[in-house]
Amino acid sequence: MKKLLFYLSICIFIYADTYPSFTQQELKKSNIADYVNTLVKYKKLSKTQQLRQINFYLNQMLPQYDVITQHKEDQWATPKEFLNLGYGDCEDYVLIKYYSLIKLGFDERKLFLTLVKEHYSGGYHMVLSYFNKKGLPPLVLDNLSYKILDLNKRKDLTPLLFINSTGVYKTNKYYRLKKVADKYKEFEEVQHKVKQNF
């Protein structure tokens, strides 16, 4: 009976309206089946545990620059593309974490793809920010760290832009978001593919 209930919960979870959902053919791939089973297990955890586990689980996938995998400088992959490839770069990790947490029931208005300046390398990087409470720094999920810290403890990062489906934002020193644009081109392109369950 327990196996039947678990199987039913997987079926409901897989075919739920939230992205990503998978066909029976896609579920034959071991990494996709593992991803789905993992999310079903995480459904029972607290929000704090879900954040930790999602960050840890997805950070185990191999990093690879777009120039190598996509033969383009900056190609944003949907979670399904990322799972099919089995690796990606920083924005690909952020996108799969973003959509995985939404699938687990997180409010997408509190989740932001965050473009940051990384001080040690001097380059740009992307992390996922979770604004759990107003006026407090967001928690940062980073593919380069298994630890989730709030942004003010990440002295190596300076946030530049916070992006989600509601628009593009900057923050002040009190972590209040101020909208600076309605759309971010690359994220719009990903959202278009996501609507087609791609």
pLDDT of residue 197: 87
Give the chain's length: 198
Q: Name the nearest CA neighbour of 181 among 196, 166, 197.
A: 166
How confident is the model over 87-99, as pLDDT tens digits?
889 999 999 999 9
pTM for the full model?
0.88
Q: Domain 2-195 class?
A: alpha beta
Q: Which residues pair with 117 in a beta bridge?
A: 124, 158
Rounded to 10 degrees, the C-alpha dihedral 102/73/90/192 comes to 0
Q: Report the range of poorest mean pLDDT among 27-31, 104-108, 147-151, 180-184.
A: 27-31
